[in-house]
Amino acid sequence: MGSTVFDSALFRDMFGTVEMRAIFGDEALVGYYIEAEVALARAQARMGVIPKEAAIAIEAASKGIKLDFDKLKQETDIVGYPILPLVHQLAAAAGEAGRYVHWGATTQDIMDTANVLQVRAALAIVERDLRELRDILAAMAKRHRDTPMAGRTHLQQALPITFGYKAAVWLSSVDRHIERVAQVKPRVLVGEFAGAAGTLASVGERGLEMQQLFCEELGLGQPAITWHVARDGLAEAVTLLGLITGTLGKIATDVMLMSATEFGEVSEPFVHGRGASSTMPQKRNPISSELMLAAAKAVRQHVATMLDAMIHDFERATGPWHLEWASLPESFLLAGASLANAKFMLAGLVVHEKRMLDNLGLTRGLIVAEAVMMAAAPKLGRQHAHDVVYAACREAIEGDGNLADILGAVPEIVEALGGVEAIRRHCDPANYLGLSGKMVDRAIAAGG
């Protein structure tokens, strides 16, 4: 049985996905280690540093090897790292060619490169999910471009907006994250082969050529200089996940609040039994949003850990590197789960347009007090218009009245706006949506 939410049979699909676990599981990680070792042998054979036959034999051994994971685990506990125990098994499987396995490399070369290969595979999933999420949000924004609802600041009704505008704001963040994924790849998807202190001393004058061919074999960029104690690349990758899950956490928070009984403006997709209470039959809890918010908070902590892990001492760290072993995979698992939850929840989100309209009427016109003030300002002056409308708002609040009716009894407002009917028009929230629609159109087109 699992001991954490990431390997628990009960919770693992809430805090990770099958795809992400396939990338960061033990078998996959060891597979990436072997891929790096084979790529190194191929690169060295291309240069004539090791016999071509040796590289062929090493690659053949990598495909047919039956790893003893129990032995690998035991020796890893002793050594502190898995590469030397793995090299023993791979070298034995390669026979005579085994002498050339791991030629000139150091443990961190292989482990760092394997992590980069993991990040590459994981970023492909993140990028795909972001693009699918973009399509969902763009469709939502377009469909509800002109659906009026209350905009809220400090949890109070502020001014009317449209639900499409809200969805387009969410969409704009997703578009920026898609850009960020593309921008981060050249900085992060870089191989590591530099030897014990990073100087390539073990492979001689042609070391940079060997490094180039090694990276080429793996489809990775070649670094300008060794990065094994300059960890900003991997820290940036996790920080990006922090930004992505932060956006999803914001969306989740909006949806959870709008799902509250007192708001009742949206509901998560109905799946029989999902979000049910063990004691209250009426409950339909926003589970997907809750998991998205939890992921945002957890990844945020991993961002801090990865920033801390950047502080390496001299040319080989005494411990900060190990922090990445926990934070890197967990961050991608959490981000993958959050994106999966976001796609499911938003694709099936139930929007209660009538309830949005009803909520707009809760203040009996107070939500558009600014509209009346700005319309009267050219005749009365801004400050005087503010004072008159402010007094009318106080009367409406204290007397539980309708703002349009109260303003209709104020001669200077009637005169300034051109009649009682004009007052009622200005007090209709649907007539004070600003440029919501045009902004929605721009947001949809921006990433199209």
**CA-wise closest residue to 87 among 78, 324, 75, 326:** 75
Whether 115 and 235 have beta carbons less than 8 Å apart is answered as: no
Whether 30 and 72 have beta carbons less than 8 Å apart is answered as: yes
Rounded CA separation 226/222 (Å): 9
Helix then strand count (H, E) for the chain reads: 18, 4
SS3 41: helix
DSSP 318-359: SSHHHHHHHHHHHHHHHHHHHHHHHHHHHHTPEE-HHHHHHH
Whole-angstrom CA distances from 311 to 26, 80, 187, 314 are: 27, 20, 19, 10
Question: Nearest 5°: CA angle at 296, between 267 and 3?
Answer: 105
Rounded CA separation 92/165 (Å): 63
Query: Which residue shows structure tokens 């914001």?
Result: 250
Whether 117 and 218 have beta carbons less than 8 Å apart is answered as: yes
Q: Which of 88, 144, 172, 277 is catalytic?
A: 277
Whether 151 and 160 have beta carbons less than 8 Å apart is answered as: yes
Question: Nearest 5°: CA angle at 216, between 210 and 220?
Answer: 115
Q: Which amino acid is at 315?
A: E
Establish whether 277 is a catalytic residue: yes
Whether 16 and 336 have beta carbons less than 8 Å apart is answered as: yes
Rounded CA separation 178/131 (Å): 7
| DSSP symbol at 221 | B
Q: Which of 3, 154, 272, 278 is catalytic?
A: 154
Taken in order 349, 350, 354, 359, the sign of the CA dihedral is negative
Say how many C-beta atoms besides its own lie within 10 A of residue 435's C-beta: 10
Query: Which residue shows structure tokens 């001689």?
Result: 204
Whether 326 and 280 have beta carbons less than 8 Å apart is answered as: no
- Furthest C-alpha separation in the chain: 102
Tokens of 372: 């009346």
Taken in order 269, 270, 276, 281, the sign of the CA dihedral is positive
Whether 194 and 200 have beta carbons less than 8 Å apart is answered as: yes
Q: Any idea which residues carry the catalytic annotation?
A: 154, 277
